């Protein structure tokens, strides 16, 4: 196993001698880029020293020989990412160089050839009500591929089902990541003004608003007395203004009554 000093010496020597960047060298030595720059600073190697050294090209550039090899390997079908790793540069450097030379690259997997019979069968299945996902499983391709097959035949996408007709309909209720419940309000509901842009409203605010018979203002908050954010019984809710803590309720300091309401001062 190599010692830390040996690794540092190799890092420094490579950084000074090779026209590649610190991030590329960090990947080669299997260390973080921050660690590499700390090694350089610790040993008095300034990051911008290499920019002033004569004879060195830009640390992310490819030499003329590397460019020729890259073009020939690309035309032979090799992927840009593989070539970039061999030359210690990013794949974007390779792609930019190929673009300058007018070399077309293959991006992604080769497209699957499709027969006329398959196009017709996909169209037939879609017309009988099968979803694109179901058709994709039949042919062993992706949903995006089926969508492309249908577009080739001038078949537009069906209107997506929504509300109770959607396969994932959960009765108009959902839960946030913080544990609060959401309820979908119809457009004609008088409390629709409290809803979010997607038509849902926080259930605890809705329960309090219905109890009061009016919408809540933005400055009003609803507190869960027992701290359970999904327990939206009216007896577990208190109307507040501003932020509030968990497990704390309002009560009269003299008699202990929980029947606390706001009154205008005379």
Asked whether the predicted pLDDT for residue 80 surpasses 80, the reply is yes
Cα separation, 28 vs 84, whole angstroms: 12
Closest Cα to residue 131, out of 165, 160, 164? 160
pLDDT at 56: 39
Residue for token pair 């690794």: 7
Cα separation, 119 vs 141, whole angstroms: 13
Asked whether the predicted pLDDT for residue 169 surpasses 70, the reply is no
Whole-number average pLDDT of the chain: 79
pLDDT-based confidence at 114, cuts 50/70/90?
A: confident
Closest Cα to residue 15, out of 90, 2, 44? 44
The helix/strand count (H/E) of the chain reads as 10, 5
Q: 67: how many CB neighbours lie within 10 A of its CB?
A: 17
Alpha helices for 2-79 (secondary structure H): 4-17, 22-28, 33-42, 64-75
Residue 200's φ and ψ, nearest 5 degrees, are -95, 150
Buried b (16+ CB within 10 A) or exposed e, 217-237: eeeebbbbbeeebeebeeebb
Residue 263's φ and ψ, nearest 5 degrees, are -135, 145
Residue range 233-243: average pLDDT? 85
pLDDT at 235: 93
pLDDT-based confidence at 49, cuts 50/70/90?
A: very low
Cα separation, 10 vs 26, whole angstroms: 11
Please return the burial class of 117, using the count of CB atoms within 10 Å of its CB with bins 0-12, 13-18 and 19+.
exposed
Q: pTM above 0.75?
A: no
Residue range 228-246: average pLDDT? 82
Percent of the chain with pLDDT over 90: 12
pLDDT-based confidence at 29, cuts 50/70/90?
A: confident
Q: 39: how many CB neighbours lie within 10 A of its CB?
A: 22
Cα separation, 44 vs 48, whole angstroms: 12
Residue 14's φ and ψ, nearest 5 degrees, are -65, -40
CA–CA–CA angle 98, 104, 107 (5° rounding):
100
Cα separation, 166 vs 186, whole angstroms: 16
**Cβ pair 189, 207 in contact under 8 A:** no
pLDDT in tens, 121-142: 999 999 888 888 899 899 988 8
Instruction: Tell me the two tokens of residue 56.
Output: 């060195």
pLDDT at 173: 83
């Amino acid at each position: 196993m190599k010692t830390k000093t040996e690794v540092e010496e190799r890092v420094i020597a490579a950084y000074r001698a090779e026209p590649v960047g610190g991030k590329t060298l960090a990947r080669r030595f299997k260390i973080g880029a921050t660690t590499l720059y700390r090694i350089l600073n610790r040993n008095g190697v300034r990051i911008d020293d290499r920019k002033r050294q004569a004879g060195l090209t830009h640390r992310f550039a490819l030499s003329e020989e590397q460019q020729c090899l890259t073009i020939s390997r690309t035309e032979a079908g090799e992927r840009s990412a593989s070539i970039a790793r061999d030359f210690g540069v990013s794949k974007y450097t390779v792609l930019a160089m190929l673009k300058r030379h007018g070399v077309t690259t293959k991006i992604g997997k080769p497209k699957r050839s499709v027969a006329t019979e398959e196009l017709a069968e996909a169209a037939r299945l879609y017309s009988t009500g099968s979803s694109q996902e179901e058709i994709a499983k039949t042919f062993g391709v992706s949903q995006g591929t089926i969508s492309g097959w249908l577009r080739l035949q001038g078949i537009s996408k069906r209107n997506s089902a929504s509300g109770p007709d959607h396969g994932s309909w959960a009765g108009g209720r959902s839960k946030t990541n913080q544990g609060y419940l959401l309820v979908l309000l119809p457009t004609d509901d008088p409390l629709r003004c409290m809803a979010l842009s997607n038509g849902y409203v926080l259930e605890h605010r809705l329960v309090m608003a219905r109890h009061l018979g009016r919408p809540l203002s933005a400055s009003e908050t609803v507190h869960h007395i027992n701290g359970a954010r999904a327990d939206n019984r009216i007896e577990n809710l208190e109307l507040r203004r501003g932020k509030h803590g968990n497990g704390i309720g309002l009560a009269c300091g003299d008699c202990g009554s929980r029947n606390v309401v706001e009154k205008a001062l005379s």
